[in-house]
Structure 1
């Protein structure tokens, strides 16, 4: 797949902003540069793309919305698409921000929805929003004159322009790139610095000794679906003081065999909680399956429930890290 950076003329609305600062919702960020916000070149995965300041962003899933809300960009979000797997937005730390924008669909992201919404900017992940199979990709949106942005964490296998960073670095990178696109670099620097301080505090308090082996259980009975090295739970486990038993897999969310789980003898199991597969049902399966009933984590009843939006690329990764770190300190300090 080959694409070239798109040159998109500034809109009339964007030009009107050139001489004034615009107060944004959420934490009160301001557009900070009179000269540069109209056109800025920012990487989209490994591709340099020219952006103009979006006014009608459409965001897919909680992680995309929360990144913009965390930067105080609520007034630039037209609406959100939230598949049923996501927990209710009323449970989000940004529930008030969700209430200010339009709920567009509980379906998967698709081209017709974006066009109907008159979006000028779409935020999603590669293969977790954007999809060749469903006919909505950055290249297709480029052809429609609609800007797009992908979570850096998801760029691991983006065709033609891959980008490989650790998941938490991907979170910081996304916030910094979005800050440049919207002209709120100062606000972004404060937000990212705050997240990094919280992560450093967790690392300083990690239990001493060998890190306990941890298995993340997403779903699956015949074969489990779990987290490789390229998704946020790997960093959550590592930074909290544990060891992801599948952290050596150069993959994102991936399927493995139960034999590998049994061989690793996990002492802690993280349950990813979402949609129609509640954590309680997954825990009951692990307790009753003859394959997993004798695992050290199961016998010791060491289950930690991670909220869906704490496990996908999102500012809430930091919340998930702090909660899991507290759990490990309770059991291993």
Structure 2
């Protein structure tokens, strides 16, 4: 993901009872039909109720979309994926074998011609991370072409016309529940959500006591830092692990900030979002050498945590990122406090 592409695309843990309400709201059923013979299914798409038939030629944009489908065991329904070159190699994914079974369609940004040429019957992507007014590929346009679309619930925060809002991890659970309903694998989705919730709860239970650790996520930018605000998965990763995002009070997804604000917040830990076109070590070197950031406590104490790109966007791998960061904060707490 280039920085430019990222910019243009790019509460407490809900207990089991809340999740069951979430699944009910998404229309998930207890029974797992898994047959595709029951006719259209009505599911919310960023607040708009849409009828879906079971897709057989899905095009997924970026790792988060493909991983949700693979985690649900839907590889046979996936025709192919689009993966911009800055994304980490799919060979590093837990679902590398599943990627090998489907077609690599393009390393470009998502576009209408690619989807049409692939004869797709469903496109899975986020708003501004795949779907885009500027590039002429939106759910409304695909509707007119008879191509179904599915948007990540987390990205609906920015979607015009049909507002829908979730905390980022709730958005992940919502997506799994809705995809489970669309493909007739509701029980599989419920089991997966329950597993992820248990893992999240385990990290929360082990979070360090006392004042939360101040954390800054550095995505990119030299004149101004590009960072995570309240509406993207790293914010939940930070707070569930026992930290506080220094820009977590900003009502946005990915956002520009100022170096002055970073310095004033005195972050104790810096998360580096790692993706292909600018490796994490280059970003860390910049922060060490830049006169404005060299005196930040996290830089002085060499407290850097590298978060994989696919652990930072809406994806089942958010839970992996949380577990790793939870381990890091516990170690930090034992070292520093």
Please report the TM-score for the alignment, with normalisation by the length of structure 2: 0.89
Please show how residues 1-333 of structure 1 align to structure 2 within 5 Å.
Answer: 32=33, 34=35, 37-333=38-334
SS in 2 for 1:58: strand
- Deviations along 1:94-118, one digit per CA (max 9) or x if unpaired, are 0000000000000000000000000
Higher relative contact order (CA 8 A, sep 6+): 2
Q: Which has the higher helix share?
A: 2
3-state SS of paired residue (2:284):
helix
Instruction: Note if contact 1:60-1:123 (Cα within 8 Å) is conserved in structure 2.
Output: yes
Structure 2: distance between partners of 1:254 and 1:35 = 41
Q: Which runs of 5+ in 1 are unaligned?
A: 1-29
Deviation of 1:37 (Å): 4.0
Structure 2 CA distance for aligned equivalents of residues 123 and 170 of structure 1: 14
Q: Is the 8 A contact 1:58 1:119 kept in 2?
A: yes
Partners of 1:40 and 1:129 lie apart in 2 by 24
Mapped to 2, the partners of 1:309 and 1:74 lie a distance apart of 18
For residue 157 of structure 1, report the CA deviation from its aligned partner.
1.4
User: Gaps spanning 5+ residues in structure 2: where?
Assistant: 1-30
1:331 Cα deviation after fit:
1.0
Q: Alpha-carbon deviation of 1:38?
A: 2.5
RMSD (Å) for aligned C-alpha atoms:
1.1
How far does the alpha carbon of each residue in 1:244-285 deviate from its partner, in whole angstroms, 9 at most, with x for none? 000000000000111100010000000000011100000000
Return closer, same or farther for 1:115/1:35 CA change in 2, 3 Å cut-off: closer
3-state SS in 2 of match to 1:207: coil
TM-score by length of 1: 0.90
Aligned with 1:108: secondary structure? coil
- Determine if contact 2:58/2:123 at 8 Å carries over to the other structure: yes
Q: Secondary structure at the match of 2:227?
A: strand
* 1:206-265, Cα deviation, whole Å (9 max, x unpaired): 001100110000000000000000000000000000000000000000001111000100
How far off is 1:33 after superposition? 5.2
CA contact (8 A) 1:57 1:121 kept: yes
Q: Is the 8 A contact 2:294 2:300 kept in 1?
A: yes
**CA distance in structure 1 between the partners assigned to 2:97 and 2:213 by the alignment:** 38
Q: What is the DSSP-based 3-state SS (H/G/I as helix, E as strand, rest coil) of the residue aligned with 1:209?
A: coil
Alpha-carbon distance in 2 for matches of 1:272, 1:307: 6
* Alignment length (residue pairs): 304
How far apart are residue 297 of structure 1 and its match? 0.2
